[in-house]
Structure 1
Amino acid sequence: MAAESLAAEQKSAAVTDWAARVGWLVGLALFVALVYWLMREGWKWRGTLQGDLPQLPTAPSEPGPAKLTMSGRYHGSTTAGQWLDRIVAHGLGTRSRVELTLTEAGLDVVRPGAADFFVPAEALREARLDKGIAGKVLTEGGLLVVTWAHGDKLLDSGFRSGRAAEHNEWVDTLNSMISKSIDTEGAR
C-alpha cells in the first residue's frame, strides 16, 4: 500500500506550454521588425532633411592621367569637422567597396553597387589621416579623410585602402595638389 501511494504522489514533469513559447517568439519577432522599421524610417528622414544638397558631380569624359589609384572601402561622408553627423542624401551614407583615382581634374570615386561621384580639384579642401567617421572607428591614422566642398557645405568622406601604407602618399599628394590650386587662385 505504501508503494502504491508513493507512486500515486509522483507526477510527471510539466509539459512545455507551446502556445506561450510561440507567443513570446512572435512578440520578439514583431519587436525586432518594429526596431528595424524605425531605423529605416530614421535613415529616410535624415535623407529628406539633407535634400538641399545638390546632385553629386560626375567624372569628366577626359579626366587626364591618373596620379594615384587605390582600392578599398568607402565608409561614408559626414559634415566636415563633425564625425558623427552622417550625410545620407544621394547615397553618400552607403558603405561600399571603392576604386579611387586622383587626376589633375579631381578625385573620381567609383563604388560598385552604389552611386559613383566625382570631387572636382577646385572643391578639394584637405586630406588627413583620422581614426573614425560615423559608423567606423579604427586605430589612429587608419582612415583617409578627404574634406571637400559640395554646394554650400563642406563634407568629410572616409576611405580605407586595402593597404593602409598608401594613406600617407594620398594625404601628401592631395594636400600638395590643394596648396598648388590655392596658390594659383591667389595669383590671379
Structure 2
Amino acid sequence: MTPLLYLAADQKSADVTDWPDRIGWIVGLLLFITLVYWLMRQGWKWRGTLQGGLPELPSAPSERGAAKLELSGRYHGSTTAGQWLDRIVAHGLGTRSRVELTLTDAGLDVVRPGAADFFVPAQALRGARLDKGIAGKVLTEGGLLIVTWALGDKLIDSGFRSDRAAEQADWVTALNDMTDPKTTTTQTDTTEGAAR
C-alpha cells in the first residue's frame, strides 16, 4: 500500500453531534438567565418596597412663571444624596427616560415621556453640580448634571444629561443661585427696598 492509502484508512469521519446533550445545555442556560432576571426584578421590587415611605412626587403648579432655562436630554435616575450607588426606585424615580427640564422661579419642572413627571418646588432645591456618575451611569468628569433636592425629609440627587452638554454649566450656576441663602436674602432686600 502506498502511504496515501494508509493515511486514508486511518482517518475517521467526525463524530455526530450529541443533540440531546446540546439541547440540555441550551435549556439549562435559558433557565439560568431566566432565574437571574427574576432575581434582579425581585430586588428592584424589594428596593421599591423599602422606599415606600417616601411622599408622593409633587406635581407642577398651574402658574409656574416664565422659563429661565430649558433643557432637553436624558434622565438617568435618582439616588440618596451623596451616595451615588444607592438608587431610588420608588414612584418611578428609577426609570430612565428622555427628559425636558424647565427652570422657573417656582421650581424645576421635570417632564419625562413614558415615565412619571414631577416638579421640584424652589424651596425644595438644595443645589446642583457637574459630576461623572450616578447609579448605573458613569461618564467623563462633568458629564452629568446632578440636582440635589428634598422629598419630604430625604435628600435626593437626580442625574440628567443634556443633549448639548455645554449648557449644563449654566444650569449649575442658575440652580445654585436659586438655593444660595445670600442670593435669596439679597433679592428679598432689593425687593423690599424697591417697595419702600
Q: So what's the TM-score if we normalise by structure 1?
A: 0.91
> Match of 1:172, SS?
helix
Partner of 1:183: 185
Counterpart residue number, 1:134: 135
- Using the alignment, how far apart are the partners of 2:130 and 2:44 within structure 1? 27
Cα drift, residue 106 of structure 1: 0.3
2:44 alignment counterpart: 43
Runs of 4+, deviation exceeding 6 Å = 6-9, 184-187
CA deviation after TM superposition for structure 1 residue 8, in Å: 7.8
> Measured at CA, do residues 185 and 89 of structure 1 come closer, stay the same or move farther in structure 2, by a change above 3 Å?
farther
3-state secondary structure, aligned to 1:12 = coil
- Structure 1 residue 173 displacement after superposition: 0.6
Which whole-Å deviations, capped at 9, do the CAs of 1:88-116 have from their partners, x for residues lacking one? 00000011100000000000000000000
Rounded to whole Å, the distance in 2 between the matches of 1:184 and 1:59 is 27
* 2:72 corresponding residue in structure 1: 71
Q: What is the rounded CA distance, in whole Å, between the counterparts of 1:59 and 1:124 in structure 2?
A: 14
**Cα shift at 1:64:** 0.8
**How far is 1:136 from its partner?**
0.6
Q: Take 1:183 and 1:63, find their aligned partners in 2: how far apart are those partners?
A: 21
Residues 1-188 of structure 1 mapped to structure 2, 5 A cutoff: 11-179=12-180, 182-183=184-185
Cα distance in structure 2, aligned partners of 1:38 and 1:93:
17
Structure 2 Cα separation of the partners of residues 115 and 109 of structure 1: 9
Q: Distance in 2 between matches of 1:131 and 1:13?
A: 54
Query: 1:62: Cα distance to partner?
Result: 1.3
Q: Distance in 2 between matches of 1:12 and 1:179?
A: 80
Partner of 1:156: helix, strand, or coil?
Answer: strand
In structure 1, the gaps of 5 or more residues are none
Amino acid of the structure 1 residue aligned with 2:111: V
User: Which residue identity does 1:37 align to in structure 2?
Assistant: W
Q: Deviations over 1:11-34 (max 9, x none)?
A: 432110011001100100000000
Identity rate of aligned residues, in percent?
78
SS of match in other structure, 1:165? helix
Q: Deviations over 1:122-148 (max 9, x none)?
A: 000011111110001111111100000
Q: How many residues align?
A: 185
Long gaps (5+) in structure 2:
190-196
TM-score by length of 2: 0.88
AA at the equivalent of 2:63: E
Distance in 2, matches of 1:90 and 1:185, equals: 35
